[in-house]
Amino acid sequence: FVDQAEGHVKKSSYEVLTYGAKLAEQLGTVAEALVLGKVSDNLSTLGKYGVTKVHQVNNDILNNLDAQLYAQIIADAATGLGATVVVFSHNHTGKAVAAMLAVRLKAGLVTGAIALPDTTNGFVVKKSVFSGKAFANVNISSAVKVISLNPNSFHVASGEGNAEVLPLGITPST
């Protein structure tokens, strides 16, 4: 999930894109991104962070956070695109939307992740607990998984490439 504000991609989204791309590589698949609302930034440049496609629901109503509406749109997109893992930044938007999305998708949820999952024996995500004083390893056994990544916990890596930007035909229900 690419978070945006006032038509510009938020810095935390680059970390999420990098994390998602590395996770997709680990799982032997490709990473795709989702943007809600109108964005003036060139979304094809998000390919530098490892995503192959950027799906956009370009609607003015999505320019301001409505957690229930975001959860509905993202759930529809994830289901339609066959996504098995949805990654957010653990910021205001991620905290508001991730849990609602997990309920809609009947997905396992880990908030505050700090590293890529260990997939050698399941899908175990390391997260920060007790205000960062300790760590927990959480196994997600559901088919669909939702992860929110702690800001500044994963190195942003950019390279070459452009992503294909595709409009996503989901109409927000208000």
pLDDT of residue 107: 98
4: β partners: 9
Neighbour-count burial of 59, counting CB atoms closer than 10 A to its CB (0-12 exposed, 13-18 middle, 19+ buried): middle
Q: 65 near 96, Cβ under 8 Å?
A: yes
pLDDT of residue 174: 62
pLDDT of residue 132: 86
Contacts of residue 141, defined as CB under 8 A and 6 or more positions apart, other chains included, come to 108, 122, 123
In whole angstroms, how far apart are CA 98 and each of 68, 120, 147?
A: 10, 25, 8
Structure tokens at 25: 């590589």
pLDDT of residue 143: 97
- 3-class SS at 36? strand
- 3-class SS at 73? helix
Kindly list the averaged pLDDT for each block of 10 residues, start to end, along the chain of length 174.
Answer: 95 97 97 96 97 96 95 97 97 97 98 96 95 94 98 93 94 76
Distance CA 50, CA 141 (A): 26
